[in-house]
Copies of this chain bind each other. A is one copy, B any other.
Amino acid sequence: MKILIAGMDGYLGWPLSLRLAAHGHTVAVIDAGLRRSWVREVGSHSVIPIASLDERLRAFETLTKQPLKFWSGDLCDYFIAQDSVRAFQPDAIVHLAEMPSAAYSMIDADHAVYAQRNNIIGTLNLLHAIRDEQPSAHLVKLGTMGEYGTPNVQIPEGFFEIEYMGRKDRLPFPRQAGSWYHQSKVHDSNNIMMACKIWNLRSTDIMQGVVYGTRDGAPAADPRFRTRFDFDQCFGTAINRFCAQAVADLAIMPFGSGRQRRGFLPLKDSITCIELALEHPPKMGEYRVINQFEETYEIIELARRVQAAAKEFGISAPIVPVENPRVESESHYYEPQRQILIDWGYNPTRDMAGELRGMFEDLAPHKDRIVEKLHVICPDIRWGGEKKICESLLGDSQ
């Protein structure tokens, strides 16, 4: 299959590109290097040192023994979207080229506007490029489980059959996202749904759980093939942050009561699921939504699992909840459905302990890179707009 990957340089984009090439697909890639800029802007860096974009491209070509088509640019520039789709004529496009941080989008008006502008315009441009240059291409778009919020009913995969006032319809399931970033993904979903309907395009919109981990399978022997690992308040996800905190001899810091429940999945499962979606293209005109996660967990349970894994490495990390910088319900019903991926053969790893061990092995050698940037660990971007460090909820006893 000819697969165009937008956002190749990110946390998922890089291992996905490698996996798809290893499985015999012809890969072309787009990136503007923005993830590196955003992480720099918030004063952080990847714990695991990563190769430069140029080095990655060369390593990729060495591995596949083929030239790699690469567009250096931003999907917000229509020419990049159009030229890449026109020149490469992909069978499928995996769109990962979005700003992925809730906290970053909540910094201030400028960052809220940036998050929505970047994500919405890139997707709109891509939809137009597909319509005009390669309408049969299957758009695989990364959304987030966070689009749904936490409704008091089960969360179906995108659509549900309802009866209202005596009549029935199959309707999109309502979205109630809780940050400007998450809302940008809702807007994308609505835009893609419309494009499929009026232009007869086809897309799989992946409502992805929170991804964690350092590896896609075995650790990469060549350091140029390693993917990035963020631990700051903006770009580090919950489990990843907790592991980095433990490695740096800090407390593990869940937000608030930690009773929030979310879907999670390891990096390698995320890539497997995207690959499964690519192998099962929808029919023309179909907008398909899949919920993608291994299992749901309460955040406090994850903190305890990281604590237990740390112990195996001789690290004694206390769990110290901090004020929740987000405005979110901390105690709620949460029951998302997940059937489509299972039907396609997704066999969840269900080995969080093993994943966590791998993470400690990979992060421990770079402890100094966490310690060097300790200031990015304590959250101070509050959903209310105030910039103020979140205090421990345990009081002076800590």
Contact = CB atoms under 8 A, between A and B. Distances in A.
Interface string A135-162: 0000000000000000111101000101
A127 to B, nearest CB: 8
Interface in A148-205: 151-154, 156, 160, 162-165, 167-169, 171-180, 183, 186-187, 190-191, 193-194, 197-199
Contacts of A131: 385
A161 to B, nearest CB: 9
Contacts of A176: 171-172, 193-194
A124 B199 CA distance: 29
A63 interface: no
A212 interface: no
Contacts of A116: 120-121, 124, 187, 191
Nearest to A131: B385
Contact of A78 (B109, B156, B168): B109
Nearest to A172: B174
A190 B162 contact: no
A54 interface: no
A153 B165 CA distance: 7
A143 B153 CA distance: 28
A117 interface: yes
Given A124-B112, A327-B198, A383-B198, A171 B174 contact: yes
B169 A153 contact: yes
A117 B76 CA distance: 11
Contacts of A279: none
A392 interface: no
A128 B109 contact: yes
A83 interface: no
A120 B187 contact: yes
Nearest to A187: B187
A55 interface: no
Interface string A109-128: 11011001100110011001
Contacts of A180: 124, 191, 194
Interface string A306-333: 0000000000000000000001000001
Interface in A81-136: 82, 108-110, 112-113, 116-117, 120-121, 124-125, 128-129, 131-132
Contact of A384 (B152, B162, B179, B198): B198
Given A128-B108, A190-B186, A385-B132, A153 B174 contact: no
Contacts of A121: 113, 116-117
A200 to B, nearest CB: 9
Contacts of A160: 164
A194 B178 contact: yes
A109 B120 CA distance: 12
B190 A168 contact: no
Question: Most B CB atoms within 10 A — which of A78, A186, A187?
Answer: A187
B167 A162 contact: no
A333 B164 CA distance: 14
Nearest to A337: B165
Contacts of A120: 116-117, 120, 187
Given A177-B194, A198-B383, 14 more contacts: A78-B110, A112-B124, A113-B124, A113-B125, A116-B121, A116-B191, A117-B121, A152-B168, A154-B165, A160-B164, A171-B176, A172-B176, A174-B174, A178-B198
The 6 closest A-B pairs by CB, nearest first: A109-B128, A152-B169, A198-B327, A187-B187, A153-B164, A171-B174
15 contacts: A109-B128, A113-B121, A113-B124, A116-B121, A116-B124, A117-B117, A124-B180, A151-B171, A153-B162, A153-B169, A162-B164, A176-B194, A178-B198, A186-B190, A198-B327
